[in-house]
Structure 1
C-alpha cells in the first residue's frame, strides 16, 4: 500500500474523501480502517532527536535510531533523495508489521487482482492495518476460487503527503536492512507512477540496492558479500522462470484440469530446482527454505514479478547516467512520462543491454 487515504486533519485530502464517497457504501468499511490506521500511526510519532536526548529511553533503541538518522542524512546528501521530515520521527505501533498486504490472482492465471485508489492509482494488492482483516479478506477471495497470499509489510510511503516515521516494524531486521528500507521508501517519494506497480517497486528496489552499496563504501565496510547477492539473484531467477512456465501453461489450449495438474507439477519442480540449487551452489544455506516450503500458489509468486521485474533495467539506466543520481532520476522521470506500452519497451531494451 503506497499512500494513506484519509486524515481529517489535512485539508489537502478533501478531494480524496470525495473520491472515496463516490466509490459506494460497500467500500466505506475498508476505507474507514485505512483512515483509522493512518491516523493512529501519525498520532504515535515522536521526534527522533527528542527521543535520543531522553536518558530514560532504551539504549539499543537509541543506537538504532541514531544509525537511522545517519542513513537518512546519507539518503538526501549522497543519493539525492527528498530532504524532508520523513524518517526524522519514530512511532512504536506495538505490532510486528505496519500493514498486511493481500495479493490475489485467479486459480489459472498470473494476472493480479488490482485495486484502484485516488492519487496512488491501481495497485496489485490491498492493504490492511489489522492482520485479522487481511486474513478475512483473503478467505473471502479464496471462496471465490482465487489464489491468495497475505504478506506482512514493515514500511510504506505516503509519497510525501505526510512525514513518514521510522517504525518499530522497521527495527525487526539488522542495521543494513533498516538503511535499505529508508532508501526504498524515500525512492517512492522521488518518483511514483500511478497504475504501474512493477515500475515503482523495481525503481525503489534498485535505489535501495545501489544506495546500500554506496552506504557501505562510505562507512568503510567491505562490499556486500558476492555470495549473498548471487543467491538472491539466483533465487529470484528461479521464481521468475517458474512464473514464465506457468504463464505458458495457463495460455495453452489444454483443459482446466490439465492446467491444474500442470500447476501442481510446476510447484513440485520449483521446490526440486530450489533444493538442487541450494545444495550444489549455496553450501546448504537455508535462508529461503521457509519461503519455498510454505504452500505455493500463483499469488505467492506475484511480488517477485512486481519488485524485481525492471531492476536490471534501472541498473542499465544508472550505468548510462554514469552513476550520477541526478541524471538517473531525470531519465527515470522521462521513462515515467511515456505511455505504458512504450515505457515497457524501453525498460526491456535497457534490461537487455545488460
Structure 2
C-alpha cells in the first residue's frame, strides 16, 4: 500500500470526523460512517489488476469482466462520468454494505429527513452495521414513530471518493448489476442536496434508458424482454403502494379521532395485501414481492416507493421530449436542479403519482 493511498484514508477520516464535531447531531453516527467508509477504502482493489492476476477465481473474474464492460459502456455510450468510480472491487464479507432506516410519524406518510454533509437532507439514515440500524429504529418506535429497516447492496459517495464495486452486488443477475452501475453513476451527473425524490427518480430513468441500450447492444433480446416484463410488474406493484399512500394521506388529514385513524390505517394495509394477491393472479405465478408483503406494514414501508418512483413518469416524459438524447436530458435535468424544490415538483412530480391507475400506468408511462 503506497503512502498516497494511506494519506487518502487519513483525509477521509479527518473529513468525516470534523463533520461529526461540527454538526449538532450525534458524533457517534458520523464516527461509524467514517469507519465504514474507511473499510471500503482499505479493501478496494483495482479491477484491472484482479483481471490480470491468474490467481483470481474464475467466477469472480467473469463477473468483473462483465462489470468492466458495462462500466466502459456507461461512459462511452451513455455519457456518464469517466472516472475511477466502480473500477475497483471490495469484498466486505457481508450481504449488504449499509442498512437504511426510514421513519414517519404514526399518522403521516411524509418521511422524516436527516441532514448530512455532501448528501444534504435525505429520507433515510444509513448504518454500516445492521444491529446499529435496528437499535436506532427501536428508539424511534419508542417515540411512537413508524419505522422500516432495509439492507442496501450498492453504495455511492456521489463521486467524492472512488466507490468500488462490492461483493454484495455480484450475486445479482447481469441485468440488475448493470442497472445499478448506471443508476449510481447517474447520481454523479445530477444531484440536488435535500431532494431525494428528484435525485432517485432521475437516476432511475437513466438506469432504465441505459439498460435498454446496453442489452440491445449485446444482442440479449430475451433478457431485454424479460426486463421489460419485470419493469411492468414493478410499475404495477409501485402503483399499488402509491395509491395506498394517497388514501392514507387523506385519512391522516381528516378530522376523525386518532383511534379511528389507527383502525382505518390497519384496514388500508389489509386492502393493499388483498390487492397484491389479486395482482399476482395476472402474473402467471410470479411471487417476487411476497417477502415484502410477509411483514407487518406501516407508513415507513411506503417511503421508498414515493422516493424512488413518484417523479419517474414526469422525468420519463422529459427524456422523450428530447428524443431520448441522454446528454440533452442531463442538461434539462441540470436546469431543473437550479429551480426550487417546489418548482421541480410542479414540473415533473406533482399529481403524477396521483394519476397512476390500478395497473401502475400513467399517461406518461411507456
Interval containing the TM-score (normalised by the shorter chain) = over 0.9
CA distance in structure 1 between the partners assigned to 2:351 and 2:144 by the alignment: 38
Aligned residues: 345
Per-residue CA shift, 1:157-198, capped at 9, x if unaligned? Answer: 111111110000111211111111100100011110010000
CA distance in structure 1 between the partners assigned to 2:100 and 2:272 by the alignment: 24
Shift of 1:124: 0.6
State the partner residue of 1:80.
79
Can you give the 5+ residue segments of structure 1 that lack an aligned partner in the other structure? 1-6
State the partner residue of 1:345.
346
**Contact residue 17 and residue 30 of structure 2 kept, 8 A:** no
Per-residue CA shift, 1:1-50, capped at 9, x if unaligned? Answer: xxxxxx76337974x654431324x6111110000110011000001011
Runs of 4+ in 1 over 3 A off after TM superposition: 11-14, 16-19, 348-353
- 1:320-339 to 2 correspondences below 5 Å: 320-339=321-340
State the partner residue of 2:238.
236
CA distance in structure 2 between the partners assigned to 1:266 and 1:111 by the alignment: 17
Q: Give the alignment's TM-score, normalised by structure 2.
A: 0.91
Matched, 1:93 2:92: yes
Match of 2:10, SS state, is: coil
Shift of 1:243: 0.6
**Contact residue 156 and residue 163 of structure 2 kept, 8 A:** yes
CA distance in structure 1 between the partners assigned to 2:76 and 2:237 by the alignment: 33
**Cα pair distance change 1:98/1:349, threshold 3 Å:** closer
- 1:125-164 to 2 correspondences below 5 Å: 125-164=124-163
CA distance in structure 1 between the partners assigned to 2:257 and 2:167 by the alignment: 49
State the partner residue of 1:275.
277
**Contact residue 45 and residue 91 of structure 1 kept, 8 A:** yes
- 1:50-69 to 2 correspondences below 5 Å: 50-69=49-68
CA RMSD of aligned residues (A): 1.7
Single out whichever of 66-75 and 215-224 deviates more from structure 2: 215-224
**Contact residue 316 and residue 350 of structure 1 kept, 8 A:** no
State the partner residue of 1:177.
176
